[in-house]
Amino acid sequence: MKLATKPKDKVDTNSHPDSDSNDNCKCMVASNVSGFRRALSANAFRECCFLDSGASHHMFSDKSCFADYCNKTTSIKLADGSSLASPGEGLVHLQTEDNSTLTLKALHVPDLAGTLISLGRLFERGCNVVRTGRSTFDMGKDSAVVLSAKIVGGCCNVQLGSAPQEPPVTPAPKL
């Protein structure tokens, strides 16, 4: 699927959430310039997950993805000047390729087109990108594959698995 260019967004920099994730969704790369928290807004991609090199935070539109949630209003500004509201933030648990649980801190953005996974945030927290083929790569941390991706038509298609949205039995690193 080709992704048409959509306006990117800026999140009010007064908020400092740290995380990401979503339930069994495909991810696509959406790149943009750095400096602001960014997101896409379009109803057409509601079930999608975008691996975004310009997103400064993980953002989920579906509140049911959150295991731990607190109400905290944040304004997300789009490049076109419009805004989206984030009514809260919290933790999301994802199942990695090796069946371990990854805990992500994320913003809840109900009007977001889909889930945004922040490539930069994962990288800052120790995840590395490893090319595995001509059009594939893995993101891994501590010898564990966090996600695998395949580039199709210029887009990064990724499957993420959701873990039960309750605190893991053993503490997992927050990304």
Task: For residue range 22-55, list pLDDT tens digits in order.
Answer: 333 333 333 333 333 344 443 444 456 778 787 8
172 domain residue, yes or no? no
What pLDDT was estimated at residue 110?
94
88 domain residue, yes or no? yes
175 domain residue, yes or no? no
3 domain residue, yes or no? no
63 domain residue, yes or no? yes
2 domain residue, yes or no? no
167 domain residue, yes or no? no
Cα end-to-end distance, the chain, whole Å? 28
Our count of domains for the chain comes to 1
More confident residue, 152 or 36: 152
For the entire predicted model, the pTM comes to 0.67
DSSP β-ladder status, 128-133 and 136-141: antiparallel
Range of the domain at 140: 9-162
87 domain residue, yes or no? yes
What pLDDT was estimated at residue 79?
58
